[in-house]
Copies of this chain bind each other. A is one copy, B any other.
Amino acid sequence: MTDSRHIGFVGLGAMGHAMATTLLRHQYRVTGYDIREEARKKFETAGGNSASDAKGAARDVAALVLMTVNIDQAEAVLFENGALDSLPKGATVVLMATCAPSRVAALSRRVEATGRTFVDAPVSGGVVGAEAGTLTIMAAASQETFTRARPMLSAMGSGLVHIGTEPGQGAAMKIVNQLLCGVHIAVAAEGLAFAEKQGIDPKVALEILSGSAASSWMLKNRGPRMLQQDPAVSSAVDIFVKDLNLVLDAGRSAKMGLPLAALAHQYFLSASGMGLGAADDSQVIEAYRALAKLTK
């Protein structure tokens, strides 16, 4: 009999590691796997078990959480690496990465055809939210599957919402979330660069904007790093190149033009083209500075 508190966790990057260790703190037994040995070691140091391959992380667990970079990696883990075969019948695959809604729906059908259940459960809130267990989780699954997964999901995210019964709806909601997040970062950059161009101290501008009707979560979070030289990387420019691309793909699927998202995407892409793809996403401001002939 499978222990309902034994969880497999594949993808121990910054987000995955924080989420998996939050599960440990809630007395879950977690077997983690990441392709990078250093990530597995880090998870062991934090008190987790690590498996030597994805199959091992899926063995004897009640749920297999996938926090991979994208859905291609999630599919590779499940099918090519054999994790799905290794996962007990009746157990649940919980996909928490940001993915295209149509592909999530297709993957869920493929998983459920093998006698496992599926929860589409992308998150918002970053590493800070993952560490604190305060993530927003947008879950889509049948009522029965959701009810079973709820305690584990609640441990990772105090902002858990059951958004619908069809996998893909969580992904669609996350896409809308990323649309706003991406545009909010880009417009914070546009505004702060414009303050600089007009000779306003950007630190004063940021303080005023953060306390006025112009404020956003992203302005307060990314704004300070926009004014730093080479800030620590919380989430990379290329993540938003990818996520806004998913937004635009979903727009094409739904046949809806998304002009602000498309424009913000071009700025993240330009920043990436300036060699800043691996830099903190706040550095999209460098694209604006380049056009306005500003230097830090």
Measuring CB to CB, which residues of chain A are less than 8 angstroms from any residue of chain B? 101, 124-126, 129, 136, 138, 159, 161, 163-164, 169, 172-173, 175-181, 183-184, 186-188, 190-195, 197-200, 204-205, 207-209, 211-219, 221, 250-251, 254-261, 263-264, 267, 291-292
- Interface SS majority for chain A: helix
Of B101, B193, B200, which is within 8 A of A198 by CB? B101
- Contact in complex: A212, B256 (CB < 8 Å): no
Q: What residues on B are CB-neighbors of A126 within 8 Å?
A: 213
Bound state CA distance, A199 and B191, in angstroms? 33
Known: A161-B204, A197-B256. 16 other contacts (CB 8 A): A163-B204, A169-B200, A172-B199, A175-B194, A175-B198, A176-B194, A176-B198, A178-B214, A179-B194, A180-B219, A184-B214, A190-B258, A198-B250, A212-B217, A216-B218, A257-B291
Closest to A186 in B: B260
* Known A184-B187, A291-B257; contact A177-B214, beta-carbon cutoff 8 A: yes
Q: How far is the CA of A212 from the CA of B181 in the complex (A)?
A: 9
CB-based contact A177/B256 at 8 Å: no
Top 7 closest pairs, chain A to chain B, by CB? A216-B216, A180-B214, A124-B212, A136-B212, A183-B187, A172-B198, A177-B214
Determine whether the beta carbon of A125 is less than 8 Å from that of B176.
no
Q: Is the beta-carbon distance between B204 and A260 smaller than 8 angstroms?
A: no
| CB neighbours of A184 from chain B (8 A) | 184, 187, 214, 216
Instruction: Give the oligomeric copy count.
Output: 2
Cβ-closest chain B residue relative to A164: B200
Partner of A217, one of B161, B178, B192, B213: B213
Return the chain B residue nearest A184 by Cβ: B216
Who on chain B is nearest to A294 by CB? B256
Residues of B within 8 A of A187 (CB): 179-180, 183-184, 187, 260-261
In the complex, which of the residues A188, A197, A251 has the most CB atoms of chain B within 10 Å of its own CB atom? A197
Contact between chains at B159 and A190 (CB < 8 Å): no
The CA of A68 and the CA of B7, in the complex, are separated in Å by: 63
